[in-house]
Amino acid sequence: MAASPSTARALNDRLALRLLQDAGPLTATQLKTLTGLSRPTVADLVERLQSGGLVHIVGETGAQRRGPNARLYGIVADRAHLAALDVRTRSVSVVVSDLLGTTLAEATLPIGDGAGAAPGPAAEQAVALLERTARAAGAARLHSVAVGAPGLIDPATRQLRDTAKLPEWHRLLIATLQQRLPATVLVENEVNLAAVAELREGAARGENGGEGVGQAGGRDTFVLLWLGQGIGAAVVLDGRLRRGASGGAGEIGFLPVPGTSGLPSAHGCDGGFDELACAASIDALARTHGLDPATALESAHPAFLDALAGRLALGAASVAAVLDPGCVILAGETGHRGGPALAARVEARLATLSPLRTEVRATTLGDTAILRGALLTARDAAQDALFP
């Protein structure tokens, strides 16, 4: 069944806006070429988008012959302001951007005693930081706010689930933001957000100038291993983030693996993969090799890196056996500091444990991945609301 005229217009408008988002500013002629639409149709949609306050003229091309097609059209970046928060146990980082994702202001604040911080004051500190950062960015009103936090997100309510290790002020912060802000407030597991960022802007995009998934080594199916104080994983299949039935996809710290003191339980991941790969265990491994934990990952010490790669390959091999993702991205502090040297060793070790060819890549976004993923999530929400 053919689309109705109104539906066709909405689809054309959204296509044009996405092109302006990704490649703009563009001329009407460029829009015609990229969309495959007729010149009159493009002229109509440009007029509609201008009337709606979504697109404006930002300049002209260098063509000698002036005319309507020489005008450059771009998205009205200040039509909406967005915010992203990276909520850690002991700190909060904030970025405020425009609709194009351009950073306007950013800030980071330590929060008390982390998990033991008084919930009310800690949440108020975080909210106040967001408000100050928004004012510094000249954002009188935020349209969409995305929060990345540790812990499971309930797939039905999209709220942080009540878990023993989650600081109480995290849940209070989310509730306070949702109550006080005249904005859409979204919450997502921080490892999932890192995967979103690596998919669209980072390691999953590929090398050698690749401009997107599917080009020059781009990957739209991969597993991201977050290796930090704690560990976790995010699963991306066919370009879509997969959260699992209860929001717990990627709780790889509970994975039973050889070489641990026992088995994990429903009450804790001691004895699971976390015991081999968390930051404290890696620091201990560095000391056994006579290295300073603060610099061990950058030391290029072959015995240490080989031993660490052997540990990480155990978790990666289990993931590969179940999901066959074809690619594993090492992220978090360990993945970032270990870089390509560690990734290459993990890939080589993994090849001896699994018959499934699995590439291992290092994060290209480092510690910024969570904020970038949150900002992309906020931008998507705003565009879905504002774009026809």
Q: Cα separations (Å) of 203 from 226, 343, 378?
A: 13, 12, 21
At residue 197, φ and ψ (nearest 5 deg) are -65, -45
For the entire predicted model, the pTM comes to: 0.89
Token output for 332: 């978090």
Residue with the larger pLDDT of the pair 280 and 156: 280
Taking the CA atoms of 378, 379, 384 and 388 in sequence, report the sign of the dihedral they define. positive
Q: Which residues pair with 189 in a beta bridge?
A: 149
Tens digit of pLDDT for each residue in 84-102? Answer: 999 998 899 999 999 999 9
Sorting pLDDT into bands at 50, 70 and 90, what band is 267? confident
More confident residue, 273 or 119: 273
Amino acid at 199: L
64 has pLDDT over 90 = no
Neighbours of 22 (CB within 10 A): 11
Half-sphere exposure of 6 (CA within 13 A, CB side): 0
Where along the chain do its domains lie?
5-75, 81-196+370-386, 203-208+218-364
pLDDT at 171 over 90: no
Say which CATH topology domain 203-208+218-364 has. Answer: Nucleotidyltransferase; domain 5 (3.30.420)
Q: Is residue 192 within 8 Å of 241, Cβ to Cβ? A: yes
- How would residue 211 be classed by pLDDT, with cut points 50, 70 and 90? very low
- The label of the residue with tokens 């092109």 reads 19
**Position with higher pLDDT, 67 vs 200:** 200
Domains 81-196+370-386 and 203-208+218-364 share a fold: yes
Phi, psi of 209 (to 5 degrees): 85, 15
Average pLDDT over residues 203-217: 56
5-75 is classed in which CATH architecture?
A: Orthogonal Bundle (1.10)
Say how far apart CA 168 and CA 148 lie, in whole Å. Answer: 15
Start-end of H helices in the chain: 5-23, 28-35, 39-51, 119-136, 168-180, 190-201, 274-277, 279-288, 302-323, 332-353, 369-386
Could you tell me which residue, 113 or 70, shows the higher pLDDT? 70
CATH topology of domain 81-196+370-386: Nucleotidyltransferase; domain 5 (3.30.420)
